[in-house]
Amino acid sequence: MPPRFGRWYYGWTVVAVCMLFQGILFGVTFYSLSLYATEWLNDPLIEVSTATVMLSNTLLMMVSGFISPLLGRALDRVSIRHLICVGALTTAAGMALMSVSTAFWQILVICACLLSVGIVLTGPLAAQTLVAKWFDGRRGTAMGIVTTGTSIGGFVVPVIISYLFAQTGWRTALLIIAAAMVLLIVPPVLLFIRNSPRDLGVAPDPPGSLQTDSISETPASTRHLWTSKAILSEPNFWVICGVMFLLASCFSAISLHVSPFATDLNIPKIQHGLFISLYAGTMIPAKIGFGLLSDKLDIRILLWAAAACLGASAGLLLIADSFFLFAGACVFLGIASGSMLPLMGNLVSTRFGAHAFGRVMGMLGPFNASAGIAPVAIGAIRDSTGNYMQGWLLILLAILPMTLLTAFLDRIGRSRKRMQAHAATLGKRPNPSS
């Protein structure tokens, strides 16, 4: 299969397929969990409180986070295309089993044992690892584009699921979803995904201008430098952990409660999917924009902009008493959350290199997974107080430490300097213009 068709670089075909499988996976899991929660709260066979039902998201995030270091290393060493198919099949099996569950503990087991594996193998970690291998100079742009796949899924899939729930009930709908996942993900991945440009005998496109790129495609040197101990001793790693944990906590705390909060506002259930589509749809241009800007601007500025949008969302939620104010909060939430994946991907790839990307992103997983506690905390506040006001205020307060921690992010990074020094010891000359 040729790497180019005329001026078309094959890496963009890989990006398109990555957008497809991410969109389907995230659309039927994270973006639709709020819809599932409403169904479970109203199902006579599954008697749960708001806080308890949010444990499904918490368990899904935490287990996927803690297994991501192992699976992240596998993505750097084993065929990514095969692992993506395994993740899709595992998730489909989980959705089918969930459709026949009769108790909430069964749903929790399915989330922990099946859906968590699918999230890691067929989610952003796999897609961004592929992009890091296929692109150098425009890596930030490609990262921004590929991460829109999850948002496109969030824009389209919840509306479809809302319709299926209304027409067939949630159990039959999950069986339909499971079959669709297998048919829509596995064939395109096997046909079009290639693990790296080397599989086609070409170099990443375009040639990188950063010194990280000059050694990003030398796996032996990068793996030798970025051992687990070296990654954990890198200050930038811990700053990225802290900032992304707070951003993910605030996003998940709001997004998982969209449907219950809409219920509190007496908004009809059939319209709940529209709010999810609204913030997911807003994330699409936000991800592209943040991805493009991350190639040109100091990423700290972009993180501060994301924090400001998150603050606007929490502020509107505090005063929301109608469809339109809630919709406005969802728009700002979409802008803020749209920054997360492209900025995190760009931070990791420019400071640790493409061949260590899967490992570093995997090691970030357990820390990011802790954000799954936030929706449970917000649910507990709603159960105890009868509303979300104190929960939204808590999110607003969490923005301050995120803003302060961003200031400690090294703009160029000790990590890049260490990569340059290590490259020099291997007889490579770093580009002095970087």
Burial degree of 377 (CB within 10 A; 0-12, 13-18, 19+): middle
Residue 215 has pLDDT above 60, yes or no: no
- Contact status, residue 126 vs residue 193, Cβ threshold 8 Å: no
- Return the top range by mean pLDDT from 93-107, 273-287, 352-366: 93-107
Query: What confidence score (pLDDT) does residue 306 get?
Result: 92
Query: What confidence score (pLDDT) does residue 114 get?
Result: 93
- Contact status, residue 388 vs residue 240, Cβ threshold 8 Å: no
How far the first Cα of the chain sits from its last, in Å, is 35
pLDDT in tens, 272-306: 778 888 888 898 898 888 888 887 888 889 999 99
pLDDT in tens, 269-279: 777 778 888 88
Mean of pLDDT values over 64-89: 83
pTM for the predicted model, two decimal places: 0.66
Residue 137 CA to residue 143 CA, distance in Å, equals 11
Mean pLDDT of the chain: 81
pLDDT in tens, 398-413: 989 999 988 887 754 4
Query: What confidence score (pLDDT) does residue 354 get?
Result: 66
Query: What confidence score (pLDDT) does residue 255 get?
Result: 84
Residue 176 has pLDDT above 60, yes or no: yes
With cut-offs at 50, 70 and 90, classify the pLDDT of residue 6: low
Backbone angles phi and psi of 210, in degrees to 5: -90, 155
Backbone angles phi and psi of 3, in degrees to 5: -75, -20
